[in-house]
Amino acid sequence: MSLKVAVFMLALLCVCCVHRCVCFPNGSVAFSCGNMMPVHPPFTPSTSSPPFTVSTSAATYRPGDVITVTLAVVDNSSSQFQGFLLQARSRAQQALLWPVGKFTNINASQVTALHCKNIQNSTVSQASGDKKNEVRLSWEAPSSRNYGDVYFSATLVQDYSSFWVGLNSSSVKLDVSGSSAAAVSSSSALLFINLLSLTVYY
């Protein structure tokens, strides 16, 4: 049995077990919205120093602000990344397992918008397995002040066997002179996403 067939069967098995998922035509890799872990059996996240960084255009935000988040290769590294998963998380409410805010100005030829935890565009991923040195994303802060300081957490995939989970930006602090509004809640999901097209495609 080839690796492709094996991975496909595993993906099918997961589809059958999973409560709810989004299946893409090329979908072969599952990402968990909660721990942002790609399912790349039998590989586990790399523990070596990551060749990638997650940075932001601002150190503070007000509700509704749009800031730029950049995923990039560290200086002088020859590494590139093929896949990514990115969300903002609240620091104020550590218990929150869901992303906050949403990504905007999504260029669908580069970026796939995901609706983790039913929050539209709360998470972004790659649109193709092309090798990348840098990806810039626009993120719109929630209209509520309830989330306090936030940070961005990314999974970056160099190739099928090398990926880093929990690459986090510095905190983006809530500017307390902002205004207030709504809140969000939700349920769980697993997403089957079009990752590298390295495994199953048909």
Residues binding ligand NAG (CB under 6 A): 25-26, 75-76, 89, 102, 106-110, 113, 120-121, 128, 153, 166, 168, 194, 197, 201
Q: Is 194 exposed, middle or buried (0-12, 13-18, 19+ CB in 10 A)?
A: buried
Least Å from the CB of residue 26 to ligand NAG: 4
Q: How far is the CB of 22 from ligand NAG (least distance, A)?
A: 14
Tokens of 70: 């950049």
Q: How far is the CB of 112 from ligand NAG (least distance, A)?
A: 8
List Cβ neighbours of 28 (8 Å cut-off, separation of 6 or more).
7, 8, 11, 192, 194, 195, 197, 198, 199, 200, 201
Return the number of the residue (168 or 179) whose C-beta is nearest ligand NAG: 168
Closest distance of CB 177 from ligand NAG, Å: 25
Name the CA dihedral angle for 144, 145, 148, 149, rounded to a multiple of 10 degrees: 80
Give the nearest distance from C-beta 195 to ligand NAG in angstroms. Answer: 10
Based on CB atoms, which residue is closest to ligand NAG, 121 or 199? Answer: 121
CA distance 84 to 92: 25
Looking at the Cβ atoms of 49 and 177, the one nearer to ligand NAG is 49
Toward ligand NAG, which CB reaches closer, 40 or 102?
102
Nearer to ligand NAG, 151 or 178 (CB): 151
Q: How far is the CB of 19 from ligand NAG (least distance, A)?
A: 22
Q: Which is nearer to ligand NAG, 17 or 186 (CB)?
A: 186
The pair phi, psi for residue 54, each rounded to 5°, is -125, 115
Cβ-based burial of 109 (10 A; exposed 0-12, middle 13-18, buried ≥19): exposed
